[in-house]
């Protein structure tokens, strides 16, 4: 992927995500609007 140049101080890395419903939830129409949360695990490599 593309690299992100780090600067002194705070750095922000922007990511995108999407929610994918399970087939049963889609078929039964049990997915509703509302808040949700997620956790991302990642590694940082630098030189």
More confident residue, 10 or 1: 10
Please tell me the predicted confidence (pLDDT) of residue 9.
Answer: 94
Residue 33 lies in a domain: yes
Residue 22 lies in a domain: yes
Residue 47 lies in a domain: no
User: What is the per-residue pLDDT across 12-25, written as a single tens digit (0 to 9) for each?
Assistant: 888 888 889 999 99
User: In total, how many domains does the chain have?
Assistant: 1
Query: Are the C-beta atoms of 11 and 4 separated by less than 8 Å?
Result: yes
How far is residue 26's CA from residue 30's CA, in Å, rounded to a whole number? 7
Query: Are the C-beta atoms of 44 and 23 separated by less than 8 Å?
Result: no
The full 3-state SS of the chain, as one line of letters, equals: CCCCCCCCCCCCCCCCCCCCCCHHHHHCCCCCCCCCCCCCCCCCCCC
Residue 46 lies in a domain: no
Query: Are the C-beta atoms of 6 and 46 separated by less than 8 Å?
Result: yes
Its pTM surpasses 0.75:
no
- Give the structural domain span for 30: 1-41
């Amino acid at each position: 992927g593309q690299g992100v140049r780090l600067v002194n101080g705070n750095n922000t890395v922007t990511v995108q995500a999407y929610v994918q419903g399970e087939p049963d939830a889609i078929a039964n129409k049990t997915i509703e609007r509302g808040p949700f949360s997620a956790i991302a695990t990642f590694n940082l490599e630098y030189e």
